[in-house]
């Protein structure tokens, strides 16, 4: 039986804070804009400390609990959406 990972255990506190800051900056299209930023490296509109944590999330291979983190960015985005809620 597989258990669902709690969203708060997936990212560090700093990463979750950066993700929420991004979502607040772009409330209507934060997921689309983040995916674009991940693909292009263009994080315009937010502070560099936020962008560093967002890039760190993008580059992860394991979550904050050392469990495998999805390499598919679309799957990763679905997990992150639960954190922003």
Give tens-digit pLDDT for 67-78: 787 788 888 888
Q: Comparing C-alpha atoms, which of 24, 82, 11 is closest to residue 53?
A: 11
Give me the pLDDT at residue 52, please.
93
42-81 residue pLDDT tens? 998 889 999 999 999 888 877 777 778 778 888 888 888 8
* Averaged confidence pLDDT in the chain: 84
Give me the pLDDT at residue 29, please.
92
Provide, rounded to the nearest whole percent, the portion of the chain with pLDDT above 70: 91
DSSP state letters, the chain: -PPPPPGGGTS-HHHHHHHHHHHHHSTTTHHHHHHHHHHH---TTS-HHHHHHHHHHHH-SB-TTS-B--SSHHHHHHHHHHHH-
């Amino acid at each position: 039986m597989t258990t669902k990972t709690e969203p708060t255990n997936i990212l560090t506190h700093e990463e979750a804070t950066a993700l929420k800051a991004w979502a607040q900056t772009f409330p209507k299209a934060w997921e689309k804009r983040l995916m674009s930023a991940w693909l292009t490296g263009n994080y315009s509109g937010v502070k560099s400390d936020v962008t560093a944590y967002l890039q760190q999330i993008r580059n992860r291979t394991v979550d904050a609990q050392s469990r495998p983190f999805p390499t598919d960015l679309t799957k990763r985005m679905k997990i992150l959406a639960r954190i922003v809620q």
